[in-house]
Every structure is written in structure tokens, then in C-alpha cells.
Amino acid sequence: MITSRAQLVALVALTLVWGLNWPLMKFSLRELSPLYFRAVTMSGGALMLLGWYRLRGVPMRLPRDTFWPVVGLALPNIFGWHLFSILGVQELASGRAATLGFTMPIWTVLLAALFFGQGLSRRAIVGMASAGAAVALLVAHEVTALAGRPLGVLWMQLAAVSWALGTILMRRSTLKLPTEAITVWMMGLSSIGFWLVAATLEPAPAWQFSPPIWAALAWGAAVNYGVAQVIWFGLARALPPQASTFAIMAVPLVGTLSAAFIVGEVPGLLDFIAAGFIMLAIASALLPKRQGRRT
């Protein structure tokens, strides 16, 4: 349980950062292409985290025999998730993209059942049904809307599947490295990948952005990739899983609400219904079962 005001403030701050980041990504894409956006912000965040954890005395060395295992973890966890999600944000309303991206816990349960022999509980089935309802609602709207972008729904589901696969691989990893070191190296290697892919597929930016865009890029690097990661690791050690689950549940709702103020995307009733389904799905997948009373 949350035992201090500091923990509560940190949890609320993390939820707000993750939620606000979705419309801020959309805002940044007004002047910067998506792959260069990822390359810039992820590189800055990785360097900041590297410096912070070195100052904190966390071993950050990457032994040679762990290089390829870390690459294997980085591909779905960082590169795949951030590649497909930024493409999805480019196509969709940012709140809607956040809702679709957070089908990840359901994909985690499904992939674990299909490929790793993990059984499906009744709660998992309820969660998958809820997530499926949310996706179906948004897909139907994007297909029927005059300016609908159904491809964005596909990008976000690929992002969620990639994140889910990466989560499973992280749980099964036997690497004898601090989690902070694995995360920083995954981010660093993925940022190199983004620079290479961006230089191949996108025109080079002029690097002459408006002040609000520079501020959004600084947010992405320093806050989303930097401060939020530090908060997350601190909370993961101090709080039980259900506390972080409630934070994850609230992210799509924060993203949907804040999009109206940041990028002028006014959510409709459908968006809130879909966000509600996703919150139910996350709760079904991640919240622990109640223990029966002892006699």
C-alpha cells in the first residue's frame, strides 16, 4: 500500500507525465517527423539516465556476452513499441492512440497463453473481451469516419503487441545486470537504430523549430524518458503491483482529457467508453486477486 505522501505524489506525477506525453508527441509532430522525434528525445533521455545512474553508483557496464541478449530485449521493448506507437500517434487522435496502446496487458496475457503455456483465467477472458470491445469501437469509427485513419489502429496494436512481447521476454530474462542498466542500454541502442532508420526514410530536419516545439522535445527527453523512468524504478521497488496498475489504468484517460488543451482534440463519448473498457481490461489483467478470509 501507499505509505507516504511522497509516494502518492510520485504516483500521481508519473500518471500525469505518461498521460500528457501522448498529446505532446502529437504536438511535436507538427514540425518534426516521427522517426527523428524518437531519435532526438530517446537519445537525450538515455544520456541523462546514464549520467544519473552512474552518479548513483549503479553499475552501467555492458559485458560483451550480454550485448546480443540486450539487443533482443530492446527490439520489442523499446524500438518496436516506440516505432509503432509514434506512427500510430501520427495517424490518430493522441488520446485514442493512448487508449489503443494500453491494450498491452491483454496482449501479454494472450501471448503468454499461446506461446508459453500460461493458462487463461476467467479474469483474463473478461479483460480480453473488454479490450476487444474498445478496439472494435475505435476501428469501426475510424473506418466509417470521413477522415478516418484505420491504419493508425493497426500501428497501435502492433505497438501493444511489441510491448507485450518485450514484457514477457524481460520477465523470462536471466541477464545478471541491474534493471536500470538494461533499460539505459536498450534505450541507447534503440536510439541509434532510430537515427539510422530516420536518416534512411525521412528528410533531414532543418532544426529550426518554434519555441513550443523545442519545449516539447525537452519534455520528451528530460521528463518522459528521464524523470519518469527514475520515478518508475523508485516506485517499483517501494509499492505493490496494484498501485502501479492503477497508474497505468489512468494513463489513457489523462491522455484523452489533456489532448483537448494541448492539441485541440475534443474527445467524444466513444473515446470515453473505449477508455473505460481499457481501464477494465487493465484491471482484469494486472490487479491481484483478493485473498479469501482466513478462518
Q: Could you read off the pLDDT tens digit of each residue along the chain, which spans 295 residues?
A: 555 777 778 888 888 999 999 999 999 999 999 999 999 999 999 999 999 999 999 999 999 999 999 999 999 999 999 999 999 999 988 888 888 887 777 787 788 888 777 676 777 677 778 777 877 777 777 666 645 677 888 999 999 999 889 888 988 889 999 989 999 999 999 999 999 999 999 999 999 999 999 999 999 999 999 998 888 777 766 665 555 566 677 788 888 889 989 999 888 888 888 888 877 777 776 566 655 444 3
Domain count, the chain: 1
Range of the domain at 77: 5-286
Neighbour count for residue 63 (Cβ, 10 Å): 10
82-87-93-98 Cα dihedral, nearest 10 degrees: -20
In the numeric block, which cell numbers belong to residue 102?
Answer: 494500453
> pTM score, two decimals?
0.86
* Residue 244 placed within a domain: yes
Are the C-beta atoms of 186 and 48 separated by less than 8 Å?
A: no
Does 182 map to a domain?
A: yes
Residue 295 lies in a domain: no
Residue pair 98/153 in contact (Cβ under 8 Å)? The answer is no
Closest CA to 221 of 82, 33, 46: 46
Which of 81, 10, 99, 100 has its CA nearest to residue 42? Answer: 81
What's the CA gap between 224 and 135, in Å, rounded?
Answer: 26
Inside any domain, residue 292:
no
17 within domain boundaries: yes
Burial class (CB in 10 A: 0-12, 13-18, 19+), 103: buried
Q: Please, are residues 216 and 89 in contact by the beta-carbon 8 Å criterion? A: no
Find cell 507516504 and name the residue. 4
Q: Comparing C-alpha atoms, which of 125, 83, 118, 114 is closest to residue 101?
A: 83
Residue 27 belongs to a domain: yes
Cα Rg, the chain, nearest whole Å: 19
Answer whether residue 102 is part of any domain.
yes
Q: Let me know: does 85 contact 100? Beta carbons within 8 Å.
A: no
Cell numbers describing residue 201:
526514410
* 261 found inside a domain: yes
